Structure 1
């Protein structure tokens, strides 16, 4: 075998090196694969755990939707999870199910459309995407969706008729949103770019003369672009100047005068709308007030397309505001009256706000107005019944609207017809529905006066001439608790008078006299008038006897009720009197104990003083007595000066001088509770609930109230030691300052709400109440409970503002200012409040699940209040013991030794009851008691009490 050549040896060496490199690379790859297996196993474990958690959450959401398919947030969460997991088939079904129940937002539609576009790249599946786009543009008027629709259609322009289809979509888009001032320009520019692209396809190559057909195509395409420029420049849009400059540059023959005229007119309109657009730009969502002002402006301008686009823009951000939908549909019903537009808008309104009965009612009327078939109207009505209204009366009203529609379909000239039978069946069904479904759900019928049954009876009597059926219906009405009302009997009497006979009229009035309890005199008068006109003497005598008997019985019942009320009032007055006596005795006891402690101290001082005085000043005293004997009997503030003065009372020189002249200077008197007397109540306000530790409260109050008007004085109420007691009075120079001061009520002062109320003497005005709150249902206001104590007014307003216009937010607090976790939120109208209840009830706020309901304050207990405002009739145990029920203990805290009858209270100058303590056994007091004229104890009396021990 021949030896290899040098060239062959070199090739062999290269092959060996390459094989060695391959082996080394294979070993490295094996090592990397081994390490990768370990890492991938960890990643797979983590991902599998996440997948299991997500799958469990998906199953939970699906189960929740199977129970309540109308949970909007649950739909949104499910779609997000399925998209995250890449479950395209399940994602498509979830989106489809949600779109059948709710209109989808712009974001959800765009995500869905983009996913479907990626999945359906074949031309055969483009029609499905077109159908999806058609559904999307019906929910809301959104420029982004229209732009996406038009751009997607450009992809099919190569198919037969593709260019025409793209043009039709662009035309629909600019018609729908081309007037949008801020976003409409994008669509116009996209439309022109498409036409410019078409223009490039019909232009002949450079240097070649086009044929006649080519020239016609070229001219037609140029005219389309000219027309688009002219149409766009006639619409007020943002950045119009750029479009005008582009047209000047593009047009070979310049801009025509007609286009310049339209352009200037659009610029003027643009300037008018500029302030509203700027307000929308800086406002926070949902910008409801700004949209309302913008719509009102466009309504005054009167341009229907611009009004329509403004409503659509507002509803895109406020789709859950029923009042906005009501205003829009009312405008379309009364002004435009275009069938397709009107009906589609009504349908969108009830899909967005299904809980609003008035929208369903106007939808039914619009269907009838535009000649919709009976099946369509019936289907809409059935959907309305399943919408979930929040009040029982809503169901009554929607039934009335549907029954009115059915009544208008009936030809009553025929004795019987299919429509008449359908009407009667609907009346029977409505009564069953209100009795079974509505009463079980709300606990009330919603139709206590049986309005539907009354309408049915009148239709039977007037149109069908069937008084027998009408009487049966009225008998049923009276058995439902309406027999005691005079107006119900008179309504039945008028029906018999119009369509019945005199016999049944008389019978109805006789029954009315027997049963009516609210206005029996009026019913008796109607019966007597009827007999004067229609009856015989025997009928007249019977009517007189029956009415007299009934009225006598009514008067006896009223007398018994009045006597019962009087007894209850007397009983309450006695209870109040006992409370006042107990309070008076308690005050007298405190004063006596205080005087006793002070007397013991003064007696000790007197003993020391008397001993010194006897030793050192006896000669001077005798001389003084021989010269002037007045210092022995001179009165002081505490009673006497001199030998009979209480211990420790040495008069000041000025005081003694005044005493010698017989003019005792008395201190300024105040009420027993240290409340200063008010000179002018009409110019004053009462301030309370201030902190006892408030530094310089007088200066603080002057600072707070100086903006209300000139202040005459600030009077603070202090304790015996001069400490501030947390309340006082502010007196102004003028009465006009008082209303301004009352506006500062509940303003926070150093962490506590300050109470400001009118200054009224309640002894002279016992019926005066500072706080009179509504005890009826406030349908425009919601009551929220379960709030976290850290929730602020701003946070609550942020939570509620998406559901309507908020007029006021009030957090309920204790007197100390600490929150109770309760709040009231007042909306602009009932619809917004109802929407807020539906959307906010049960949501989580900082870990607390809140409860939301329409405000319905309870009736305040007035048992402890004197005067005619107290409730009458039977009282429950809760009312007897107060609004909070029986107290924790019924024991009296007054010692038994002090349980004695005090003297009748007297009157002092300021109108309050004086304290009547038992007087000491002195001659003067004995005479006063014998005469039966109790009086207040003076300082002299207390001094004598101490000196006679």
Structure 2
């Protein structure tokens, strides 16, 4: 091994690079950014005029599209051929503002500047270039150039001053930390370090035994450290070490068996390193192969990484990640995997933030990297100025709307935490920063995220912070009002606003919101949901008058919605009856609601009805009765049958009796009486039943069970109306207090009813109807109860009026 030299300033291999404009080396990161042609420029442009024309074209392209990577590369290539060092330096700086440069680009930059600049200022500038280069990507070659440049050009190192030697050692140790574990090339750095220390040894006076012995021990330590690390050609390093020890007189025969004459500790470390190398050699071969696609090579890197992660050495894992991103710098998958690993293992520290800063430079259009970068800065107790700078840079990138929203929310999270828990040494932050961030987010995203959960989440968070952190109720209401202007058709927006007022105990404000939105049209069952929500609200917070008022308002609205739904279904049946029949068959089971009415109910067993007074007509005025109607799926589809249909085909028909109905309304409670009707001539069931409830609240809850299933059949439940005559009722006429939910005309209902004289059971087949008997007076009802007049709301329309309105439409 040629490692003895009297000049400690020269590396083991020396630096033979010409100090004139050097030939351009091949690039490390692929051909797209390579500019390795000769500086003569004969093949690229020929004469000066052609080069100038190329230059003007490239400058025009960069002025219109500064983010074009390849244009930057070609522009630098032409400037380098023209040897315009000042313009070349500016071009490189401009490119590096947007993109990382490859290791070979940094090498060329440093060599170009070194060839034309001299003096201490030039040395510091070039040293800074090397520092920037080794930060961006891992490159053994770049580190070697850096080390050689410093040894040859730093006066303190060249003069072997203690300060200079210490500086050189620190730089070598940094190089080993960055790349000393590199299996295939790391030994080059170890050997360069050892060569430097050997050169120092030869400058020590032979009479200074203490200094020479100290230096010998330093060299021996480097040998021992290197032999404990798995590298290629490990046996050669072992033989080099033994030969050196022979020179020191510690081993008699360097050619003996490999481990003879070596201490047990060194031999043990060497054998372990050799085993580690043997376990990795096949993986190294896979990632170094050039006869495969990039995707295959990347997969080989990932296989290698999983192996290193299973071994549990974070330093080796990080080294391999650095090697991978040098070969695949724009793989967002790789950067995300790398940063996730660091977040999991290291959690905090400059190492993580440095990796994130490089990740967003290589993959600026990946919002998750920016979000996690900001979080890593916060974990590392970075300054508000630094976090704000990263946030502002992220907004300049091309991201998806959801990614922009995530960035804004992450920024607010950070500000909230910093305001809530002031950081030592940092001036208190103003809440106005949070408000400004929310406002900017709303201004930018509202046009694109209108009526979306994302915009709702943003404003709900904003309102909560205005209320809880800034203690400003008016500002919180203002946020909700702004959202309603943007997303007034979103049920969740109204619910969030109402929930805030309710939690604050502002019952009147919450009630006012219900009055504003109960008649709005929402998606799905939202229109019905808001009506039921208002009733629950009044049950829990309102007076009896408030509850009665809510009932009076939502009942016609619910009837209107049910009527509209029935008409839409009938229209669909008329347009395509076969399709409708098949759809009903498929949905027969799935239409069963998964949950009951959310309001709390008392069991009817606990009810103690009051004594009845008054007549039939007064019963209906009290709003305490309901009519229940069984609906029948139209059409038939023999080839589509569910389990329930198969059961109902059998000889034993499923029938409903008093107990069935009482059980059906058990969650509602308040059942006073049940009467199943039979034909007075045949005694067969008419398919009708009347159910009497103790009060209006239980009645409304019962009506809310419309379209639910009893014994496998869907029921239609409506309020009975005593004001209409018997003839009208037989035809299914409706009044102000009844709700029609039938999918078929009343004439068809009469034909489809079945009868069973003398039995208290109702056969659930066809269009069966259950309703409250009009000759039963609700217990506790007073015949002298005055009517309630509407004060601030218009009089609700009757069902007949609603029907006529739709017919006109």
Shorter-chain TM-score range: 0.5 to 0.7
CA contact (8 A) 2:172 2:193 kept: yes
Give the deviation of 1:139 after TM superposition: 0.5
Structure 1: distance between partners of 2:228 and 2:143: 21
Mapped partners of 2:396, 2:323: distance in 1: 29
Closer/same/farther in 2, CA of residues 464 and 270 from structure 1, 3 Å limit: same
Please point out which of 461, 464, 480 is paired with 1:458.
464
- The structural deviation recorded for 1:317 is 1.3
Tell me by how many angstroms 1:280 deviates: 1.2
Q: Is the counterpart of residue 421 in structure 1 residue 432 in structure 2?
A: yes
Q: How far apart, in 1, do the equivalents of 2:428 and 2:173 lie?
A: 49
2:294 match: 285
Consecutive unaligned residues in structure 1, runs of 5 or more? 1-42, 205-209, 574-762, 767-949
Name the residue aligned to 2:536: 529
| Structure 2 CA distance for aligned equivalents of residues 45 and 397 of structure 1 | 52
- Checking the alignment, whether the CA contact within 8 Å between 2:106 and 2:129 is kept in structure 1 is no
Residues 544-595 of structure 1: CA distance to partner in whole angstroms, max 9, x if unpaired?
Answer: 122211112212322333344334436999xxxxxxxxxxxxxxxxxxxxxx
- The partner residue of 2:325 within 290, 293, 315 is 315
- 2:214 match: 220
Separation in 2, partners of 1:181, 1:296: 16
1:181 corresponds, among 180, 183, 201, to: 183
Counterparts of residues 464-479 of structure 1 (less than 5 Å) = 464-479=470-485
What RMSD, in angstroms, separates the aligned Cα atoms of the two structures? 3.0
CA contact (8 A) 2:138 2:322 kept: yes
| C-alpha contact (below 8 Å) 1:343/1:363 kept by paired residues | yes
Cα–Cα, structure 1 residues 168 and 417, in superposed 2: closer, same or farther, change >3 Å? Answer: closer
Distance 1:170 1:56, change over 3 A: same
> 1:485–1:516: 8 Å Cα contact kept in structure 2?
no
Distance change (3 Å), C-alpha of 1:446 and 1:326: farther
1:399 aligns with 2:408: yes
* 1:195-344 map, 5 Å: 195-202=197-204, 204=206, 210=207, 214-252=208-246, 253=250, 254-282=261-289, 283-285=292-294, 287-344=297-354
Task: List aligned pairs for 1:865-884, cutoff 5 A.
Answer: none
C-alpha separation in 1, matches of 2:43 and 2:285: 50
1:442-484 per-residue CA deviation (whole Å, 9 max, x = no partner) reads: 797987643221111111223334322222221221221x333
Cα distance in structure 2, aligned partners of 1:323 and 1:317: 13
Aligned residue number for residue 190 of structure 1: 192
Q: Which has the higher contact order (CA 8 A, sep 6+)?
A: 2
| Deviation for aligned residue 1:98 | 0.9
User: The residue matched to 2:430 in structure 1 has which SS?
Assistant: helix
Partner of 2:158: 158
CA shift, 1:330, in A, is: 2.5
Find the partner of 2:125 among 128, 146, 151.
128
Change (3 A) 1:229 1:45: closer
Among 499, 502, 521, the residue aligned to 2:504: 499
> How far off its partner does 1:432 sit?
2.2
Selected match of 1:107 from 104, 109, 114:
104
Shift of 1:318: 1.7
> Partner of 2:652 in structure 1?
none
CA contact (8 A) 1:181 1:236 kept: yes
Quick check: 1:396–1:446 contact (8 Å CA) kept in 2?
A: no
Equivalent residue in structure 2 for 1:140, among 137, 161, 171: 137
Q: Does structure 2 conserve the Cα–Cα contact (< 8 Å) formed by 1:235 and 1:266?
A: yes
CA displacement, residues 592-615 of structure 1 (integer Å, 9 cap, x when unaligned) = xxxxxxxxxxxxxxxxxxxxxxxx
Assess, with a 3 A threshold, how the Cα gap between structure 1 residues 553 and 137 changes in structure 2: closer, same or farther.
same
What SS is found at the alignment partner of 1:238? coil
Q: Which residue number in structure 1 is paired with residue 377 of structure 2?
A: 367
Which of 1 and 2 has greater Rg? 1
Aligned counterpart for 2:520 among listed residues 503, 508, 515: 515
Q: Is the 8 A contact 2:228 2:269 kept in 1?
A: yes
Residue of structure 2 in register with 1:169 after alignment:
171
2-side partners of 1:765 and 1:178: how far apart?
73
1:337-396 Cα deviation digits (max 9, x unpaired): 45221211111111111111111111111111111111111111111111221x122111
CA separation of 1:478/1:96 partners in 2, compared to 1, >3 Å: closer, same or farther? same
Cα offsets for 1:719-772 (capped at 9, x unmatched): xxxxxxxxxxxxxxxxxxxxxxxxxxxxxxxxxxxxxxxxxxxx9999xxxxxx
- Contact between 2:466 and 2:473, CA under 8 Å: does it hold in 1? yes
How has the CA–CA distance of structure 1 residues 48 and 382 changed in structure 2, closer, same or farther, with 3 Å as cutoff?
Answer: closer
Q: CA deviation at 1:486?
A: 2.9
Task: Measure the CA separation in 1 of the matches of 2:411 and 2:210.
Answer: 59
- The residue number in structure 2 matching 1:434 is 445
Matched residue SS, 2:334:
helix
Give the whole-Å Cα distance in 2 for the aligned partners of 1:445 and 1:218. 79
Q: CA deviation at 1:198?
A: 2.1
